[in-house]
Each structure stands twice: as C-alpha cells, then as structure tokens.
Amino acid sequence: MFDLVKKLTEIPGPVGREERVQRFLHDTFKEYTDEVRMTNIGNLLAHFPGEGKKVVLNAHADEICYFVQSITDDGFLKVSPHVRPVGMDLYAIRHCTIGQRALLMGNENDLRGVFAAATGHILRKSEIEKSIEYWDIFVDVGASNKQEVWEAGVNVGCPIIWNPTTEKFGKKITGKAMDDRVGLAVMATLAERVADCNLAFDLYMASTVQEETNAKAGSSALAFEERFDIAISLEPGLAGDIPTIETVRMPTKLGDGPALVYKDGSLVYDYETLKSLTLVAERNNIPFQSVVYVNFASDCETLVAGNARPCLITVPCRYTHSPFETIHEEDLRDTVELLYYFLTK
C-alpha cells in the first residue's frame, strides 16, 4: 500500500492540471475493466458492471496548489494561493509554506525552486517580531531576471505545488496530496479486488478534477454524466490525536479505522448507507470510527445535484492541507476491506 501511495502522492496534479494523475489511474483501471472513459471536463470514469443500484466511488485527482500571480523584474515569482484563500486554508498555507521545495508546471517543462522569505539576518527587529504575512512569501526558481523566467516557459497562471517526497515513519505515511490520492489508492486497490467478483451494485469509480475549488467543477459535471443512486466520496479526514488538540474537539485517531462521516460543513450524509456500512464493518470485524466534521466538504456536495444519496468515508489524517499530511497505513487497508465487503456481499 505504501508504494502505491508514494507513487500517487508524488505525481504533480495541481487544480486544473490533473492529467498526469489521470493517466496513471487510467492505466491502472484498464487492467481490470474495459470500460474506462475520460469525460469532457477531465474526470476519469471506470465501470465495473453488476446487478443492483448504481454506486459511484469517487475521489479527486487534484491537490492544493498555487498559481504564478506575477513575475518580478529580477525573476522571482509572487504566487496566489489555490482557489479558496479563506479561513483555515490560508492559515495552513502561511505557516507551512516557507522552506518547502516548489515544483512549477511550466508550458514545456517542470521547474524546481523553493518557497522563500527574507532571512532574519537581514530584517529589521520590528520585521522579525511581526508574524509572516502571505505577501512576504515568494518562489525562487534560480532565475536572474524576468526574461529568463519567460524563456523557461513560465507565465502568469502556471501552477506551483509543494514538492516533498512521501516517507514512511513506523506505520504512518507523510507527504503532500494525501488529499486526495489516498482516495485514489483505495479505488485502485479495490479495482483489482472486485474485478472478478459478483458485485452487489452496478459499480463506477470516478477520479474527479478541480475539487479544491468552490464550484467543485469535476464532481458538478459528474453528477450529470451518469445518474447514480449512491455516491461514496473517499477523502482523508480529520484527526485530533496530536498534543495541542483536546479529544472532545476531534475524537478521531489514526490507526482506529476508517471514519464514517455523519455530517460535515455542507451535507448530512445518507443514514441508510451509513447503517449498512456499520453493519458490514461489525460483521467482518473491521475497525471503524463515526465522526462529525465542521470545516470540511466533499465531492458529494455537488454529486447530490444528480439525485445520488451522499456518503463520505474518510481515512483519518493529521495536518490536512499541508505538505506533511499524515495517515496510518492500516486505516487505508481497513477502508479497502470495508468497501470490498460492502460492494460484494
């Protein structure tokens, strides 16, 4: 599972430029079904025919990113945060961005660089004491002037991502884009497991684009691509098992199994599907957690427009929307097990 997660999370797939992730997944799905198609907006949809209600498992291919907002005369890049520069996102971005290696997707090649800010060695005392603001951060790609940046195929609008490697510490996996490559890893693993099974549903698996936008463009389009009875979104969830958070605020823990979400910031999830999943977990001794989120949303937010009953299963994750999102390998395995038994029995 780690090898798959490492491979998936390290593929660059900023919002609107998910094609490399989709290509990888297309080749994976193709091994297990002939029915794989790319939709007009760029969603990838794989079909595993079966008798019963139409279920779509879905996870998004895109990741948190920045865009080149302007290029200075001396060749530095000022960046705009991804499409939702509000609340916790801006907070997360500001505090963990400086020092990250950057990867810029130019028009011809990828460029490497670093998210930087002025060192305290050359700041005034008053500047050192004030907290870092978003506009204090810039990207240094090693260029000497604007011309060099242009010649490297970079213009305003090119996306930039954090570019750490994905590592395993004990049973935990840390890296960028767990959101939402863990969902894709679960689907890719399930595709192999269910390929030759009698399914209890007519099953689809969708890798959507542009989830990290207010419009959730990919899943908005998916809602009208097929009429699904049930939509099950797979996402990294929230976890409160770190020293500075009281358990009552977020009781979910890494290693205690997938978290079934009853509500989040935009939806209340389908009671019947939640009960079925709970029953399947109990009968098969699969650990699971039940959870309620406040600052959270999924692709189901827009998939309900097509009349699908919404369901959200999350793999608990620490430090969401950061370059060091951290999950537990066994939670991933248990999520696969839960869905396997749900879809086949």
Nearer to Zn ion, 179 or 270 (CB): 179
Q: How far is the CB of 63 from Zn ion (least distance, A)?
A: 9
Phi (first) and psi of residue 269, to 5 degrees: -85, 160
Complex with Zn ion: residue 180 or 325, whichever CB lies closer: 180
Q: At what angle do helices 178-194 and 19-30 cross, to 10 degrees?
A: 10
Closest residue by Cα to residue 233 from 85, 99, 335, 87: 335
Closest CA to 44 of 26, 57, 70, 27: 26
CB of 306 to Zn ion, least distance (A): 20
Pick 180 or 256: Cβ nearer Zn ion: 180
Site for Zn ion in 223-262 (CB under 5 A): 235
Is 89 among the residues that bind Zn ion (CB under 5 A)?
A: no
Where do the H-state alpha helices sit in the chain?
A: 2-10, 19-30, 87-96, 125-129, 146-151, 178-194, 217-222, 271-283, 300-303, 329-344
Q: Examine the residue annotation and report whether 211 is marked as an active-site residue of this protein.
A: yes
The two three-digit tokens of residue 134, written as one number = 């978003």
- Distance from C-alpha of 148 to C-alpha of 233, rounded to nearest angstrom: 43
- Measured from the CB atom, the residue of 47 and 321 that comes closer to Zn ion is 321
Q: Which of 160, 72, 68 is nearest to 112 (CA)?
A: 160
For residue 131, the minimal CB distance to Zn ion (Å) is: 27
Of 111 and 326, nearer to Zn ion (C-beta) is 326
Report the site for Zn ion in 178-197 (rule: CB under 5 A).
179-180
Residues 17-46 that bind Zn ion (CB under 5 A): none
Among 31, 129, 192, 211, the one annotated catalytic:
211
Report the side by side order of strands in the sheet with 44-48.
36-38, 44-48, 202-208, 54-60, 230-236, 309-315, 259-263, 289-292
Kindly list the distances between the CA atom of residue 215 and the CA atoms of 48, 83, 86, 209, in Å, as whole numbers in the listed order: 28, 10, 15, 11
> x/- site string to Zn ion, residues 151 to 180, per CB under 5 A?
----------------------------xx
Total of residues contacting Zn ion (CB under 5 A): 3
Across 101-170, the runs of DSSP E, i.e. the strands, are 101-105, 110-116, 138-140, 159-162, 167-169
Nearest distance from C-beta of residue 244 to Zn ion, angstroms: 23
In the complex, least distance from residue 148 CB atom to Zn ion, rounded to whole angstroms: 35
Of the pair 99, 265, the CB lying nearest Zn ion is at 265
Q: CB of residue 134 vs Zn ion: minimum separation in angstroms? A: 22
* Phi, psi (degrees; rounded to nearest 5) at 151: -65, -25
Residues that bind Zn ion (CB under 5 A): 179-180, 235
Give me the active site residues, please. 211
